[in-house]
């Protein structure tokens, strides 16, 4: 029963104003809704009123104050229909819901002792009967009634307008949100929460109160999120001219949450893992992630809330744009090249895999069964890459004009991706019609590049050929408009050469536009033989193939002026060496390390660098998942063995260099999540990883010392992971135990404790997963725990998940079956590794498919149904 984009119709009735009253109770919360409805100007006069509603018990219904008779309306599993309604009227309903039984964590649910909501995309229909679609925007007035003792804090969107005591130890608070919004942005929080408060003065001089609400024991973990929020607010004013529009902005941390966070108007709700930090409990990566997510949700206030989506097919309109905005912000406040390297290496591993798998879909899908399945890397990350291409095509200044126009023209409206792109076309005068294919065509485009230097004529001929492989439902693809940023690096001088194309002087770094299936670019006056540096900064989300020799890659690694491509050349060089080693492993031949890789790494280590974080990235080997992504048929064991071999060879050959690097970059002084400190820690810890791969005695001592020193979580966790992943059980076990006991009270640290154990490469990992699932700190009802234990095992521990006895697959399927009942959204996500069966050998394919078939026998939620059917199609 898929829904199609082409079936979009405007709603028959609009809601102008919504009044809600919640009388909270774990098993019987009463929700009264008073909707001020109006027929859409284009709708039929006789159109019935149809409201969405799921798992609601209707207690009362009245129109314009008059209770409805039983034959005047009908209630189904998913809808309430009122057969005859006037052009404009008031509808009152009262329903009962049970937050404590809501393990799906959509709608109103309980997390520990507090009540909270998650309404995007379609959770509001589990709260009350409503036209639960983003193109219905209303002002809201919400009254929350709770117990004065257990729920002293009662929050909703907008501004607090009234509060007071009620009989029987109850109290209430009323909130008004003056900005019309769709139901998916509604939020309510109630519980025994404590707050930290701060202030922000907007560019027009208004004072905004900022609050972060947490459980009391987490009050000391809010500082970084608050600082990030203030930086974000300032940045959005400066970079986009966007000012905050209420007097109050609240963030609430909750432990049970399906995703990272949610941008509800004025009341952002966060997974505690995406907001709480402390040097002793959170790693550098977490500090940076929190900063990025706080920014992301804040930026949604304009890109998402003030201007929202017409329908859920347009999801990337707000998500792609907002991810691009948070990425730009993070690049500016941190090390920009490192940010880009991290983004791209994640993107090429995970989004490329999604694009190549059975659930591949365009940035704007044309159909779906369950929208909850479409909060994907394609909608978010590829959507952001598409916006980034627009920004690069237009240039920063013109792009800003386009965004100003978009916000001005569509403020308060629910719009489409065309509306956004049209603004960009208007301000730039560019024809973006071919570019629009990026939104409708799924799959990762591939470019075959070839180059030829003509010594006699001093010309360089670059040929680019593009194709996009077929994806489910899209057998034939059209050529895309692909911006390829590039330079030519002279092999004599090591410098970027001047580029002259069609008689035009383009400087040393330019963007060429590939629009045809095949195009030739002839550069003239090329002073010396060059190595091309292509797709600089990952200027388009494509795979680019060029027949580089290893010498050329080593040359680019040393000489490319583009930091990103320097890093990429290193990755390509290592991948070539890995190819040989994977083949050797398969053929049972002795593995030999390519000396060119060792030399390239030695050169890296001998250079003085001022950006430790970039160097750390350059020294990191591609992940097993990324290596797998390069292969048609994935050989998990060969990949693991080959990668270990490279790591150990480098460690043996460059032992002293790594040891020096480790010692020179020791943490000194108080912890701060500054780019400089983070870079030093990253570099030091990369060095330690190499040394631990050969279990160098000095490294073991260092890891143990680093763990014992207990300076900050980044160092502690890294050291503990290395010990636990080594064969040195004698050292690892006491450390692991000490850590588990020390942090038993802190769920976010326990998540890390789970992850680092179940990702160990040793053969006992799967037994550990089963064992830890019985641990008192584990619960299948908590998504963070599921991700930390099951998600980490299936996603990161490739050798053990893909065991040939099929036990890894069986374990994941068992969990998926349980989660199908408890939390369908999480079930449909955690299953991902099983859906990628096409890439493995026949024995594994059969085992994986058998587990998918076993799951298929269950009574499936729509979420899982859609994924299973697509995976087995
Ligand atoms: N809009 C939220 C964000 O990107 C995510 C909401 C996810 N909702 C869901 N049902 N998956 O920040
Ligand atoms: Zn978002």
The pLDDT assigned to 667 comes to: 78
Ligand nearest to the CA of 300: 2
Q: How far is the CA of 328 from the centre of ligand 2 (A)?
A: 15
- Give the pairing type, strands 114-118 and 188-191: antiparallel
Which residues lie near ion ligand 2 (Cβ < 5 Å)? 319, 322
Mean pLDDT of 214-235: 98
Mean pLDDT of 777-798: 98
Whole-angstrom CA distances from 587 to 137, 590, 673, 762 are: 63, 9, 47, 23
Is the minimum distance from the CB of 343 to ligand 1 under 6 angstroms?
Answer: no
- pLDDT tens digits, 52-70: 999 999 999 999 999 999 9
* pLDDT category of residue 609 using cuts at 50, 70 and 90: confident
Q: Is the pLDDT of residue 668 over 90?
A: no
Mean pLDDT of 704-713: 97
Whole-angstrom CA distances from 735 to 751, 757, 771, 827 are: 16, 12, 18, 33
Is the minimum distance from the CB of 372 to ligand 1 under 6 angstroms?
Answer: yes
Average pLDDT of the chain to the nearest whole number: 98
Q: Record the pTM.
A: 0.99
Q: Give me the catalytic one of 151, 297, 343, 851.
A: 297
Q: 287 near 330, Cβ under 8 Å? A: no
Is the minimum distance from the CB of 89 to ligand 1 under 6 angstroms?
Answer: no
Mean pLDDT of 223-228: 98
Handedness of CA 864, 865, 866, 868 (dihedral sign): positive
Mean pLDDT of 634-657: 98
Q: Is the pLDDT of residue 638 over 90?
A: yes
Ligand nearest to the CA of 107: 1
Is the minimum distance from the CB of 274 to ligand 1 under 6 angstroms?
Answer: no
Q: Is the pLDDT of residue 608 over 90?
A: no
Is the minimum distance from the CB of 635 to ligand 1 under 6 angstroms?
Answer: no
In 3D, which of 525, 702, 655, 675 has the Cα closest to residue 613? 675
The pLDDT assigned to 52 comes to: 99
Query: Which strands make up the sheet holding 138-147, listed edge to edge?
Result: 66-67, 57-63, 88-97, 29-39, 13-23, 138-147, 170-181, 159-166
Q: How far is the CA of 729 from the centre of ligand 1 (A)?
A: 41
The pLDDT assigned to 299 comes to: 99
ipTM of the complex: 0.98
Q: How far is the CA of 369 from the centre of ligand 2 (A)?
A: 21
Is the minimum distance from the CB of 259 to ligand 1 under 6 angstroms?
Answer: yes
Residues 385 and 636: their CA atoms lie apart, in Å, by: 30
Nearest residue (by CA) to ligand 1, atom 12, is: 262
Nearest residue (by CA) to ligand 1, atom 5, is: 262
Specify the 3-state DSSP secondary structure of 846.
helix
* pLDDT category of residue 688 using cuts at 50, 70 and 90: very high
Is the minimum distance from the CB of 297 to ligand 1 under 6 angstroms?
Answer: yes
* Helical residues (DSSP H) of 139-268, grouped into ranges: 223-240
Q: DSSP letter string over 447-468?
A: EEEEEEEETTTTEEEEEEEEE-
* pLDDT category of residue 587 using cuts at 50, 70 and 90: very high
* pLDDT category of residue 610 using cuts at 50, 70 and 90: confident
Mean pLDDT of 556-564: 97
Q: What angle do CA 832, 834, 840 make, to 5 degrees?
A: 120
Is the minimum distance from the CB of 449 to ligand 1 under 6 angstroms?
Answer: no
Q: How far is the CA of 260 from the centre of ligand 2 (A)?
A: 9
* pLDDT category of residue 174 using cuts at 50, 70 and 90: very high
Mean pLDDT of 528-555: 98
Pocket test for ligand 1, best of 107, 120, 251 (most atoms within 8 A of CB): 120
* pLDDT category of residue 113 using cuts at 50, 70 and 90: confident
- pLDDT tens digits, 134-166: 999 999 999 999 999 999 999 999 999 999 999
Whether 297 is catalytic: yes
Nearest residue (by CA) to ligand 1, atom 1, is: 262
Pocket test for ligand 1, best of 105, 119, 182, 375 (most atoms within 8 A of CB): 375
């Amino acid at each position: 029963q898929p829904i199609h984009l082409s079936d979009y119709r405007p709603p028959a009735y609009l809601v102008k104003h919504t009044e809600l009253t919640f009388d909270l109770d774990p098993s019987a919360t009463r929700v009264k809704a008073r909707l001020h409805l109006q027929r859409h100007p284009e709708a039929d006069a006789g159109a019935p009123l149809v409201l969405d509603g799921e798992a609601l018990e209707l207690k009362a219904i009245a129109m314009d104050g008059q209770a409805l008779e039983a034959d005047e309306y009908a209630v189904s599993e998913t809808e309430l229909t009122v057969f005859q309604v006037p052009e404009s009227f008031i509808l009152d309903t009262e329903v009962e819901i049970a937050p404590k039984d809501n393990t799906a964590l959509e709608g109103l649910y309980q997390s520990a002792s507090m009540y909270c909501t998650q309404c995007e995309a379609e959770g509001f229909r589990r709260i009350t009967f409503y036209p639960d679609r983003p193109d219905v925007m209303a002002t809201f007035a919400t009254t929350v009634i709770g117990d004065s003792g257990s729920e002293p804090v009662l929050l909703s969107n907008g501004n607090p307008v009234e509060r007071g005591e009620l009989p029987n130890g109850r109290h209430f608070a009323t909130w008004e949100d003056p900005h019309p919004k769709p139901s998916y942005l509604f939020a309510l929080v109630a519980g025994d929460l404590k707050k930290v408060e701060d202030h922000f003065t907007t560019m027009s001089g208004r004072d905004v109160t900022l609050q972060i609400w947490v459980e009391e024991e987490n009050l000391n973990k809010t500082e970084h999120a608050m600082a990030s929020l203030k930086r974000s607010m300032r940045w959005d004013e400066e970079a986009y001219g966007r000012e905050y529009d209420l007097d109050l902005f609240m963030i609430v941390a909750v432990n049970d949450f399906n995703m990272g966070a949610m941008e509800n108007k004025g009341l952002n709700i966060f997974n505690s893992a995406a907001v709480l930090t402390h040097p002793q409990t959170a790693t550098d990566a977490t500090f940076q992630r929190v900063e990025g997510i706080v920014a992301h949700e804040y930026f949604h206030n304009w890109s998402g809330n003030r201007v929202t989506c017409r329908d859920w097919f347009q999801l990337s309109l707000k998500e792609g744009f907002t991810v691009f905005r948070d990425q730009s912000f993070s690049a500016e406040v941190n090390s920009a090249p490192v940010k880009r390297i991290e983004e791209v290496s994640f993107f090429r591993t995970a989004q490329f895999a999604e694009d190549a798998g059975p659930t591949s879909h365009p940035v704007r899908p044309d159909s779906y069964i369950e929208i909850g399945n479409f909060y994907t890397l394609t909608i978010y990350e590829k959507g952001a890459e598409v916006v980034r291409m627009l920004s690069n095509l237009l240039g920063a200044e013109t792009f800003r004009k386009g965004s100003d126009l978009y916000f001005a023209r569509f403020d308060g409206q629910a719009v489409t991706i065309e509306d956004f792109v049209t603004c960009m076309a208007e301000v730039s005068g560019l024809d973006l019609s071919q570019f629009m294919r990026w939104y409708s065509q799924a799959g990762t485009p591939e470019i075959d590049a070839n180059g030829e230097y003509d010594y006699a004529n001093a010309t360089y001929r670059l040929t680019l050929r593009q194709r996009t492989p077929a994806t489910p439902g899209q057998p034939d693809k059209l050529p895309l408009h692909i911006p390829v940023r590039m330079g030519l690096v002279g092999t004599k001088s090591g410098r970027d050469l001047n580029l002259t194309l069609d008689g035009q002087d383009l400087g040393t770094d330019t963007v060429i536009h590939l629009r045809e299936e095949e195009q030739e670019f002839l550069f003239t006056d090329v002073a010396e033989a060059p190595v091309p540096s292509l797709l600089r900064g990952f200027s388009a989300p494509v795979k680019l193939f060029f027949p580089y020799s290893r010498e050329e890659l080593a040359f680019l690694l040393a000489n490319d002026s583009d930091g990103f491509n320097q890093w990429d050349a290193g990755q390509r060089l290592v991948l070539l060496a890995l190819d040989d080693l994977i083949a050797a492993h398969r053929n049972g031949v002795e593995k030999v390390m390519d000396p060119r890789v060792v030399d390239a790494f030695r050169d890296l280590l001998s250079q003085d660098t001022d950006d430790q974080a970039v160097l750390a990235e350059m020294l990191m080997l591609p992940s097993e998942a990324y290596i797998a992504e390069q292969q048609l048929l994935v050989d998990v064991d060969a990949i693991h063995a080959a990668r270990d071999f490279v790591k150990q060879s480098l460690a043996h050959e460059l032992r002293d260099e790594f040891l020096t690097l480790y010692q020179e970059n020791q943490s000194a002084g108080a912890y701060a999540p500054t780019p400089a400190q983070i870079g030093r820690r990253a570099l030091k810890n990369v060095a330690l990883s190499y040394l631990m791969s050969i279990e160098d005695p000095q490294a073991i001592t260092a890891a143990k010392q680093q763990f014992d020193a207990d300076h900050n979580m980044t160092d502690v966790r890294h050291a503990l992971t290395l010990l636990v992943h080594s064969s040195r059980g004698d050292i690892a076990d006491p450390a692991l135990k000490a850590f588990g006991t020390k942090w038993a009270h802190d769920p976010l640290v326990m998540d890390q404790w789970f992850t680092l154990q179940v990702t160990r490469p040793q053969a006992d990992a799967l037994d550990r997963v089963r064992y830890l699932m019985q641990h008192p700190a584990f619960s299948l009802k908590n998504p963070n725990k599921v991700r930390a234990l099951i998600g980490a095992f299936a996603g990161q521990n490739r050798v053990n998940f893909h065991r040939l006895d099929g036990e890894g697959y069986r374990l994941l399927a068992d969990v998926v079956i349980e989660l199908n009942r408890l939390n369908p959204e999480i079930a449909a996500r955690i299953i991902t590794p099983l859906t990628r069966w096409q890439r493995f050998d026949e024995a594994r394919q059969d085992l994986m498919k058998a587990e998918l078939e076993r799951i298929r026998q269950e009574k499936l939620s729509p979420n899982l149904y859609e994924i299973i059917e697509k995976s087995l199609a």
